[in-house]
Amino acid sequence: MKTTIPGPETRRLYGDLDKRQDPRANHFFVDYNKSVGNYIADIDGNVLLDTLCQIASMPFGYNNPRLKEAVSSPEAVSALVNRPCLGLLPDASWPKLIEESFAAVAPPGLPHVWTAMCGSCANEGAMKAAFMWYQHKKRGGAPFTPEELSSCLKNEAPGSPSLSILSFEGGFHGRAFGSLSCTHSKPIHKLDFPAFPWPIAPFPNLKYPLAAHEAENRAEEERCLKATEDAIINSKIPVAGIIIEPIQAEGGDRHASPFFFQGLQKICKKHGAALIADEVQTGMGVTGKFWAHEHWNLPTPPDFVTFAKKMAATGFYHSAETRPSAGYRNFNTWMGDPVRAIMLRTMVQHFKELDTLNLVKKSGQQLMDGLFQLSKEFPIVTNARGQGTFCAFDLPTAADSGKLIEIMRNNGVEAGTCGESTVRVRPMLIFEEQHVKVYLEVLKKSLKQLAELKK
């Protein structure tokens, strides 16, 4: 560390950026040419261990040579300069590229993929697909009626039906209008925007460690399942789908057990609603399985699984049953990006070569052991929890968590918060023993400094 953060060069650039764009959420300006692996460099010469990773999005480190080689290939250059609209004019290589990237890691039972531009787009697309599937069933597979075709252009029924997606308190699913109506993590995300009056159910508020509170947590999950079914039954707007995160990330790293998710799927099937697993943050092995919903041990797959972040590419997986009945229905100009699929193809190969799931499990256990130990040394550290390296702990107040992140950043670790007062850990897939050790040492040092400030 050479300066405090933000350093003088970052502050100067803040002033330049502020003339054209709002910089108030920026942490610092990055020198990406000097960032390597798990370490991020700022423009003032500071180098930090990165455990926020572009909001949980970096899988294999900065300036990864394999990925640089992949996106420098003639195949990638052609995709960049010609930028095909994949729904109309895909390159001849697209079917094979899908097989070697998206299909290579498809969730069991969901062989079809729809590609998109961002996590919000993925969730929006999955919700649209759920509505189409629901209505297709309702009309018994019959063609659209003339009345449906004409009324939808006026935003009227029956072509524009009154349907909803049920979501959960504390959930975060994106910033477009449909996904934002399902987002309930922080007011700042939603303030001033119109929202659909869709039903909201309580997400289990579990006690940690989970193994020490099984009976209480089971009762809480049963309460939430009953409330979810009641919300469907009592909703004035029919529920076509339920969207949920395997771990509520932006909402504060809130967990639920396989029992809860199994019960949720039963409710979906009973009421004819689609189950949408939002794996934007939890996909790509971060929980110790490639897909976090694999921990649920469901008898059948979710209806849709959305992805983005560490996958580099984005979209959702689904079955043949939920494919729209006609073309042009889930559609936009680009429908994803072949360059990102090329990156994903390389990442899938890299993932296997590095034995990534075992690395994540090993580092995750070391990380959790360290967090439990620190919670004994520092009483303000509570509710240490995690799955794989997707870990977190709580502090008493938002002011405490915010101050701790500031201290950690100036001690050489880039980190972040979520929920009300949760400190989250979102490292890369190449987060190894030495990186866990550095993180825990800096965290301990920073907690001591926070304790001194609070005296």
For the record, the structure tokens of 422 come out as 């949760």
> Could you give the angle at which helices 258-271 and 214-234 cross, rounded to 10 degrees?
20
Cβ–Cβ < 8 Å for 279, 246: yes
| Residue 309 among the catalytic residues | yes
Find the catalytic residue in 28, 29, 60, 172.
172
Beta-sheet pairing, 274-278 with 239-244? parallel
The sign of the CA dihedral 227, 233, 234, 239 is: positive
| Residue 278 among the catalytic residues | yes
| Residue 50 among the catalytic residues | no
Dmax over Cα atoms in the chain, in whole Å? 72
**Cα–Cα distance between 285 and 205 in angstroms, integer?**
25
**Cα–Cα distance between 202 and 167 in angstroms, integer?**
9
Q: Can you count the helices (H) and strands (E) in the chain?
A: 15, 14
Find the catalytic residue in 168, 183, 309, 310.
309
| Residue 172 among the catalytic residues | yes
Q: What are the residues whose beta carbons fall under 8 Å from the beta carbon of 240, sequence distance 6 or more?
A: 130, 131, 133, 134, 135, 163, 164, 165, 273, 274
Identify the CA nearest to 229 among candidates 209, 201, 205. Answer: 201
Beta-sheet pairing, 164-168 with 200-201? parallel
Find the catalytic residue in 230, 333, 369, 437.
333
For the record, the structure tokens of 169 come out as 């308190």
**Cα–Cα distance between 313 and 101 in angstroms, integer?**
9
Q: How far apart are the first and last CA of the chain?
A: 26
- Inter-CA distances, 208 with 48, 329, 385, Å: 30, 44, 7
Find the catalytic residue in 253, 278, 337, 394.
278
Query: 3-class DSSP state for residue 12?
Result: helix
**Residue 42 C-alpha from the chain's centroid:** 25
Residues annotated as part of the active site = 172, 278, 309, 333
